Structure 1
């Protein structure tokens, strides 16, 4: 390993691990990918909170977590090496907003489709154990897979993946495929012919949704080009492109409509529930009830999005206000 290489600890079934690995690959930043196994986990045992991915900074050995701050850290450390942030401030804001939507809303889709259906849940639990515990075989493997299966299904209500919320979640996945399907393919990304932070966040969730059996079937039937786009973006080191935001204007607008109708209403209701000390977030999304426990991290996400909006210069806000108003986002960010 090169002395200047990053070390990225994660897992193949982790959307955020795949997101950051794809960013490192695209940016051609020397790194070593280390799956979190019993052999490698002692190297990151001191990390808190216990999340993946974990990135080891080469010069200091410092271990850092959380894919979005890590992606932004890489921007600070390598500002001139294939940046994934559009240079225009208004475009950069939309990029951050769509990345947050992918990380925090689309992960509900990923979790629902992975654990709701028995056959896919069984497949996923065995894949995850093979990835994290490659030495386990026979009864040891089966027992670990069964325990992980039960643990994850026990967490479904906490992240909003309940039978009652299933119609909202499944309609959201179908809508996402309908938006992306006609657009992706070739060198088509949200802000031109080069991928952005928002593209990599979409990729992270879709890398799971296009490999787990049930959502893969849905994708192949509804928007097969999306799976091909995901495969290409897994290693985009060879892609050369330009920022051409006019090319992706229509698909960004359609995604922002999803943000304004689905994600930001949830964030506002979640923040209100936490502020009021309520045990449940309750709202309607596109005319359907959506209920879950409030989630503190997503309150921070909402505050950060609103901070970013307020910190934009007047010219960028003026540029974006008509688009954000038309897509239902503006009032929820003000």
Structure 2
């Protein structure tokens, strides 16, 4: 989401103006001229600052193709998975829905991602809308019911991309490195390490802690092994 939002001019303008709108005092809307001047000033500041900070999330000339390819693969796989179900694990929302929806919904609010989401992944749209007001509408499905379309997401996006990257971030930051280099799907993924990466260190620690509480669950371990995730959580 961050990459698309601050990469192209059209998305920078759209996002910065919306952010500026939310930061204006309520009474300013009654002063049209002042409203416009303040909005333009705030939007310009936001646009300049954020468009120069792509590096902090690892986006650069070396990584942008891998970032966009991964995002499109996720959208494609998730679209197939959600085609005939309301939420990722069945008929009620879970942390998985909230985590992915936040990124995808906010991407959809930007011009460039909105266009390709609506044109190429229309089966995601009901879920995007449903998650604005999520409800418990039934039960979670069994793994046998979910696995055919969920395992490819776990394997390709978590086991092959996210977990190798976030594990390397954790190791690199613990060693005080200022740059990360990790091989992802046979290609080097190299970028500077910024302050926001500390949140990935924390999130990986939480994932490991959560997994610890399920140690001995052979069914779960078999799933994580097949998805190439287990070794990053132990």
TM interval, short-chain normalised: 0.7 to 0.9
Structural RMSD (CA): 1.8
Q: Look up the match of 1:308.
A: 210
Cα pair 1:191 1:243 within 8 Å, conserved: yes
Separation in 1, partners of 2:161, 2:102: 20
Aligned-residue offset at 1:278: 1.1
User: What are the ranges of 5 or more consecutive residues in structure 2 without an aligned counterpart?
Assistant: 29-33
Structure number having the greater helix percentage = 2
TM-score (norm 1): 0.63
Across the two proteins, how many residue pairs are aligned to each other? 222
Within a 5 Å distance, the mapping from 1:35-46 to structure 2 comes to none
Once the two structures are superposed, the pairs formed by residues 139-218 of structure 1 within 5 Å of their partners are 139-185=37-83, 187-218=85-116
Partner of 2:184: 285
TM-score (norm 2): 0.87
How far residue 187 of structure 1 moved from its aligned partner, in angstroms, is 4.3
The answer to whether structure 1 residue 230 and structure 2 residue 128 are counterparts is yes
- Which whole-Å CA distance do the structure 1 matches of 2:173 and 2:11 have between them? 33
CA drift of 1:288 comes to 2.6
Which residue does 2:220 correspond to in 1?
320
Q: Distance in 1 between matches of 2:199 and 2:103?
A: 18
Residue of structure 2 aligned with 1:250, choices 137, 148, 154? 148
Of residues 19, 23, 48, the one that matches 1:132 is: 23
Q: Secondary structure at the match of 1:163?
A: coil
| 1:190–1:245 Cα contact (<8 Å) kept | no
Q: Where does residue 241 of structure 1 map in the other structure?
A: 138
SS at match of 2:183: strand
- 1:207 deviates by 1.0
- Is the aligned partner of 1:114 residue 2:5? yes
CA spacing shift, 1:249–1:116, aligned 2, 3 Å:
same
Distance in 2 separating the partners of 1:183 and 1:204: 18
Is contact 1:207–1:230 with CA below 8 Å preserved after alignment? yes
